[in-house]
Each structure stands twice: as C-alpha cells, then as structure tokens.
Amino acid sequence: MTGQRPPETRATDLRVPALVIAGTGVVWLVLGWIGAQQGWGLRTMALIDLAAIAGFIWALLVTFWIWQRRRAAPNKE
C-alpha cells in the first residue's frame, strides 16, 4: 500500500479529540467548582478558562484536520 492506513486505524483517529473534549469539560467544571469553594482569584479562574478554551480549540482543529483528510482520500467502498 502507498502509505494508506487500515480503516480500523482511521476509525480510531477521533478518539483522542473526543477524550480531550470530554476531559477538558470535566476538569474545567471541577476546577471551577473548587476555585469557587476556595475563593481563588479572578486571574486564576481566567487562566483555567483560557486553558479550557485552548483544549477545546485544539480538539476542534484536530477534528477539522481529520475531516479534511478523509474528504480528500479516495472513497473505496
């Protein structure tokens, strides 16, 4: 084959972005709750928010890249 990955491998490509989205959401909620309970400052809470946004954007970009790669690949079904 000319560098083509098997379909099983391509099907698992979206697992990492999905786990990042789920993990980011859970960690963001938990840290937001802990921060509110502990009285963390606005700068700390904003840093947590920015880190969560970065995780969501990264997952969105990776998902878009995978989608574009799959669209460009020839359909051999």
Q: Where do the structural domains in the chain lie, given as residue ranges?
A: 15-69
Three-state DSSP string of the chain: CCCCCCHHHHHCCCHHHHHHHHHHHHHHHHHHHHHHHHCCCHHHHHHHHHHHHHHHHHHHHHHHHHHHHHHHCCCCC
Question: Is 25 or 7 the better-scoring residue by pLDDT?
Answer: 25
pLDDT at 73: 78
pLDDT in tens, 18-74: 999 999 999 999 999 999 999 999 999 999 999 999 999 999 999 999 989 888 877
Mean pLDDT, rounded, for 2-19: 74
